[in-house]
Amino acid sequence: MRFIHTVDQIHDEGHMAHAAFGVSVRVVEILRSATGRVVGSKVLLLVGPGNNGGDALWAGALLAQRGVDVRAICSSEQFHEFAAEKFFKAGGRFMALNDAKKFAPDVVLDGIFGAGFRGVLSDDIGQMIAETQELGTVIAIDVPSGVYADTGLADSRQVWADITLTIGTLKPGILTGRGKEVSGVVDVVPLNSDYPETDAFVVDYSDLELMYGPAPILSHKYTRGVALIHAGSPKYPGAGVLAVGGARASGIGMVRFAGEPSSNVLQAYPDVIASTDLSHARAILVG
């Protein structure tokens, strides 16, 4: 079970080093997956005036130490000086927005605003986002800039992230509303912090296993249950695929599909049997 925390429920201002390290590790993994290399790859930082910008600069310093060519564009004349010092010492450099396209980054790391964003994005920042949005894989630190971390509402010029590396814990704003739409794949960068339990949480497969227990060693498809599913139609074949996928994820022993057409389902899940046989069926889903 992963709890979800609002901005007022988290206090992690002193964890910039841990956050930057976690971000840099994930960016290295993404670079290696996307480009096949780390050394010689390019990362462009979008840096804001606060701690989110500090996270980006410090992560950029760690990436530069790994042989990544790292440049930064600042959204204002203010930036996190301690993190910037590390960035410069590691070989990072600031650059003008006009040079971003020529730089041709593999990754654009969004550190303009984090969970504390309030208000609206300025025209200058909106332009920065617009001109860098398509230059590479966009990775947001904590929440995409322009998204309200507690609500999922967003400025119309917000960053549209491919991946969001949320710091320490999940935030409501990247799981609902516009924020969910623009956050892409969400990954939590863990911190050594004890966050309080809350009323909001995400259930993981491990929680279900604790609830229902692992399957007995000598169990088989009939002892674990059989589901018969009649879902979807020739006009809406995806409904059958979704229903069968959900049933399979439950840990049930066998899934039989009685809908039409069955070809899409069987192609997606070769272990499913196309059958109307009701014998042994413990559950029937019609929809």
pTM of the model: 0.76
- Specify the pLDDT at position 197: 81
- Specify the pLDDT at position 261: 85
What does the block give as tokens for 118?
A: 């309030």
Beta bridge partners of 141: 165
Task: Return the DSSP state at 195.
Answer: P
Q: Does domain 2-202 fall into CATH 3.40.50.300?
A: no
CA distance 203 to 200: 10
- Specify the pLDDT at position 10: 63
Chain-centroid distance of CA 234 in Å reads 34
Give per-residue burial for 63-81: e unless 16+ CB within 10 Å, then b.
bbebebbbbbbbbeeebbe
- Specify the pLDDT at position 287: 85
- Specify the pLDDT at position 3: 67
Q: How far is the CA of 167 from the CAs of 11, 17, 69, 145, in angstroms?
A: 11, 12, 24, 14
The domains of the chain are located at: 2-202, 226-286
- Specify the pLDDT at position 5: 61
Contacts of 49 (CB under 8 A, 6+ apart): 75, 76, 78, 79, 80
- Taking CA 92 as the corner, what is the angle to CA 86 and CA 98, rounded to the nearest 5 degrees? 135
Residues of the chain with pLDDT under 50: none
pLDDT tens, residue by residue, 195-250: 778 888 787 767 766 776 777 788 888 888 899 999 998 888 889 999 999 998 88
CA distance 71 to 47: 10
